[in-house]
C-alpha cells in the first residue's frame, strides 16, 4: 500500500492583520494500484485564533486542515448520518473522504471527462433520500470527436464498501456544443421541489449584443437548467410550451454561474455568477427569469472601462442581482456558496454567531465572504481566510457537526474547515 501524509500542523489565523481593516470596512487511475490514501498522523492539530469581527457571539474560530495534496478539487457534498463526504477533482477523480480520520478512498467508475481549460469532473450532489436510493449526481465536461465541448450531468449508484460508481448514465447534455474550454458552469443541487438545478455557462461567447447565446432561449448556454431526478424534463418548467425554447431552461441571461444554494427559511434558490471585468453577482432565481447577461450587466469589458450593456435598473425585462460588485470595485469572482442555518450552527462544532449567514467562496479575491441576510437585503460582513493565496471553489456545512468546509482550488490543494474553538 502506498501511503501519503495529508494532514499537517499549521498556525492559521482566521483574518490577517491586513484583513481586519477590511472586515470592519466592509476518470483513470494515475498513481498506484492501491486507491486507498491514508496518513500516519491523526487529525492535524490546528490553532485557535480570535475572530476580529463585530459579532460578540463569536470570539474564537479554529481552522483545521482535513486533506492536503489535492489536484484542483471542485465539488463537495456530505453523506447523511456519517462522517463521509464526496469530493471531486477536475482531473477526473471522485474521492470518498473520511472527515474524522483525514483519509480518502478513490471512487472508481466515474465517466470519462474533458479536462482541458476549465473542464473536468466538476460538481457532485446526492439523491435527497440517499442512501436509499444511492444515486450520486455528477456534472462534467465532455467533448465530441470534432473537439466541441459541453456540460453534462449524469448519475450512478455509490457502493461505499468497495468505493465505486455503478450503473452510471448520462442524463443530459447541454446544447449546443461549443468550440471552447471555458465557462462550463456546472454547479448542481437538488432543490426543495426535489428537482435538479444545474448551471451552464455561456461558453465564452463574446457577442455582447441581444443575439448572445445567454439571451437565446433556444440554447441551454448561459442558463440554469431544471430536471427531474431521472433526467427527464418537468412539465412545470417555465418554457415547456414554447416551441422556440429549450424545455430544460429554468432561468437564463447568466454568464457563468458556479454557486447554488437553497435558503433554509424561504426555500428560494440563490445563485452566484461571474461577471466579465467585475460585475459579479448574487441572484435569487425565479422561474423564467432573464438575469440580463450581456444586455444588462454591471461589469465592464476586459482591458477598458466600457460597460457591457446597460445597468439592470435601466431595463424592466431583466431581474437585478440582490448583491453585485460593479465595474471598478475590484470584483469578487464568486464560486460555491452555502447558507449556514440555525440547526447546523447549533451542532457540537458549529459557530452560533454565524447562524443564518451566507458564505461565498472567492477565487481571484482569495477569501471567504460572509454575508448577513435579511429577506432580500444582503450585507457583506467579513472577508475570511485572507492573505493565504487560497482560491475557494466550494463551501458547505456539515449537518452532523456544524463545521464549515472550504475547498481550495490549486494543483496542490487543501480541504479545510472552520469550527468553534
Instruction: Please answer whether residues 414 and 359 qualify as being in contact, where contact means their C-beta atoms are separated by less than 8 angstroms.
Output: no
Contact 201, 257 (CB under 8 A): yes
* Residue 322: C-alpha distances to residues 170, 203, 226, 272, 383 (Å): 34, 24, 22, 10, 19
Range list of H helices, 300-365: 342-345
Burial of 144: CB neighbours in 10 Å, binned 0-12, 13-18, 19+: exposed
From residue 91, alpha-carbon distances to 59, 325, 368, 409 in Å are 39, 31, 24, 12
Of the candidates 68, 102, 108, 109, the one whose C-alpha atom is nearest the C-alpha of residue 85 is 102
How far is the C-alpha of 337 from the C-alpha of 392, rounded, in Å? Answer: 10
Hunting for cell 440554447 — which residue is that?
Answer: 219
Spatial distance between the Cα atoms of 219 and 202, rounded to a whole number of angstroms: 10
Q: Is the peptide bond before 161 cis (omega within 30 degrees of 0)?
A: no
Backbone dihedral angles phi then psi of residue 352, each to the nearest 5 degrees: -60, -40
Catalytic: which of 183, 254, 263, 312? 183
Cβ-count burial of 399 within 10 angstroms (0-12 exposed, 13-18 middle, 19+ buried)? middle
Q: Is 183 a catalytic residue?
A: yes
Q: Which residues contact 131 (CB under 8 A, 6 or more apart)?
A: 79, 80, 158, 160
Rounded Cα gap, residues 418 and 354, in angstroms: 11
- Residues with a known catalytic role: 183
Amino acid at each position: 500500500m502506498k501511503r501519503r501524509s495529508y494532514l499537517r500542523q499549521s498556525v492559521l489565523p482566521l483574518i490577517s492583520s491586513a484583513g481586519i481593516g477590511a472586515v470592519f470596512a466592509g476518470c483513470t487511475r494515475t498513481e498506484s494500484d492501491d486507491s486507498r490514501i491514508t496518513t500516519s498522523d491523526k487529525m492535524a492539530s490546528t490553532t485557535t485564533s480570535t475572530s476580529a469581527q463585530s459579532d460578540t457571539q463569536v470570539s474564537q474560530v479554529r481552522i483545521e486542515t482535513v486533506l492536503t495534496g489535492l489536484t484542483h478539487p471542485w465539488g463537495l457534498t456530505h453523506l447523511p448520518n456519517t462522517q463521509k463526504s464526496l469530493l471531486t477533482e477536475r482531473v477526473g477523480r471522485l474521492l470518498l473522504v473520511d472527515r474524522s480520520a483525514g483519509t480518502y478512498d478513490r471512487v472508481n467508475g466515474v465517466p470519462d471527462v474533458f479536462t482541458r481549460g476549465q473542464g473536468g469532473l466538476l460538481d457532485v450532489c446526492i439523491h435527497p433520500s440517499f442512501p436509499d436510493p444511492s444515486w450520486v449526481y455528477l456534472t462534467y465536461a465532455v467533448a465530441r470527436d470534432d473537439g466541441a465541448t459541453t456540460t453534462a450531468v449524469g448519475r450512478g449508484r455509490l457502493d461505499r464498501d468497495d468505493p465505486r460508481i455503478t450503473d452510471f448514465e448520462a442524463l443530459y447534455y447541454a446544447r449546443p456544443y461549443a468550440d471552447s474550454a471555458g465557462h462550463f458552469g456546472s454547479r448542481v443541487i437538488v432543490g426543495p421541489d426535489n428537482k435538479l438545478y444545474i448551471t451552464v455557462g455561456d461558453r465564452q461567447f463574446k457577442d455582447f449584443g441581444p443575439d448572445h447565446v445567454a439571451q437565446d432561449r433556444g440554447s441551454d448556454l448561459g442558463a440554469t437548467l431544471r430536471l427531474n431526478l431521472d433526467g427527464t424534463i418537468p412539465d412545470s418548467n417555465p418554457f415547456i410550451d414554447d416551441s422556440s425554447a429549450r424545455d430544460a431552461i429554468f432561468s437564463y441571461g447568466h454568464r457563468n454561474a458556479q454557486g447554488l444554494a437553497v435558503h433554509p427559511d424561504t426555500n428560494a434558490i440563490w445563485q452566484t455568477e461571474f461577471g466579465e471585468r467585475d460585475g459579479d453577482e448574487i441572484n435569487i432565481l425565479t422561474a423564467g427569469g432573464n438575469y440580463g447577461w450581456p444586455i444588462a450587466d454591471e461589469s465592464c469589458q476586459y482591458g477598458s472601462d466600457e460597460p457591457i450593456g446597460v445597468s439592470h435598473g435601466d431595463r424592466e425585462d431583466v431581474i437585478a442581482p440582490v448583491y453585485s460588485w460593479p465595474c471598478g470595485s475590484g470584483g469578487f469572482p464568486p464560486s460555491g456558496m452555502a447558507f449556514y442555518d440555525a440547526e447546523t450552527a447549533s451542532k457540537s462544532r458549529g459557530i452560533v454567531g454565524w447562524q443564518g449567514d451566507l458564505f461565498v467562496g472567492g477565487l481571484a479575491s482569495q477569501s471567504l465572504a460572509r454575508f448577513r441576510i435579511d429577506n432580500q437585503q444582503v450585507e457583506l460582513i467579513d472577508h475570511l481566510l485572507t492573505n493565504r493565496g487560497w482560491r475557494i471553489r466550494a463551501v458547505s456545512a456539515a449537518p452532523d457537526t456544524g463545521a464549515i468546509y472550504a475547498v481550495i482550488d490549486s494543483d496542490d490543494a487543501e480541504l479545510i474547515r472552520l469550527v468553534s474553538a
